[in-house]
């Protein structure tokens, strides 16, 4: 079963590519691919704006994390031509725009982690860091970045 088949099975789709401004969405070094932070972008617009713990509740923040992770995968597919060349997900970094007293940060990024494991199986299990921040670009609730390892060296 392909990654695209698994996406369909999970009833999720990759979003359109978000604008990248003056940076690379994907940077490949050897067999590692560094995916810049992706905010939840879907339907041509940034979604899930606000602070987690105030305007955004936990289930909505989890949806934002999943959407941001899907954006990372869309950029990977665009750069690599296929998600099938990904050997493993190495690391996930999650940034949560939250109130000072919001402490359930791991529960927010668990949704992105669960998605990656569902798509890549054991190769989707990864190291992860999640931090709470006072602000994110455009006021979005969550930003996700990835490091993945490729099966073979590919130049996007």
| pLDDT computed for residue 17 by the predictor | 86
Strand 86-97 with 127-133, pairing: parallel
The CATH code for residues 3-150 is 3.30.1330.40
Q: How far is CA 113 from the centre of its chain?
A: 9
| pLDDT computed for residue 93 by the predictor | 98
- The ranges of the chain with pLDDT < 70 are 152-156
Domains of the chain: which residue ranges? 3-150
CA distance 32 to 27: 8
Name residue, tokens 């999970």: 10
CA distance 21 to 105: 28
| pLDDT computed for residue 154 by the predictor | 47
């Amino acid at each position: 079963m392909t990654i695209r088949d698994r996406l369909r099975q999970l009833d999720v789709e990759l979003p359109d590519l978000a604008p990248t401004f003056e940076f690379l969405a994907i940077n490949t070094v050897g067999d590692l691919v560094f995916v810049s932070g992706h905010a939840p972008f879907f339907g041509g617009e940034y979604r899930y704006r606000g602070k987690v713990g105030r305007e955004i509740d936990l289930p909505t923040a989890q949806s934002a994390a999943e959407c941001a992770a899907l954006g990372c995968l869309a950029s990977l597919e665009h750069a690599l031509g296929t998600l099938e060349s990904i050997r493993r997900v190495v690391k996930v970094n999650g940034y949560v725009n939250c109130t000072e007293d919001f402490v359930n940060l791991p529960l927010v990024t668990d949704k992105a982690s669960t998605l990656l494991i569902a798509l890549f199986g054991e190769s989707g299990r990864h190291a992860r860091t999640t931090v709470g921040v006072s602000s994110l670009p455009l006021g979005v609730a969550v930003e996700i970045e990835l490091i993945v390892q490729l099966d073979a060296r590919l130049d996007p």
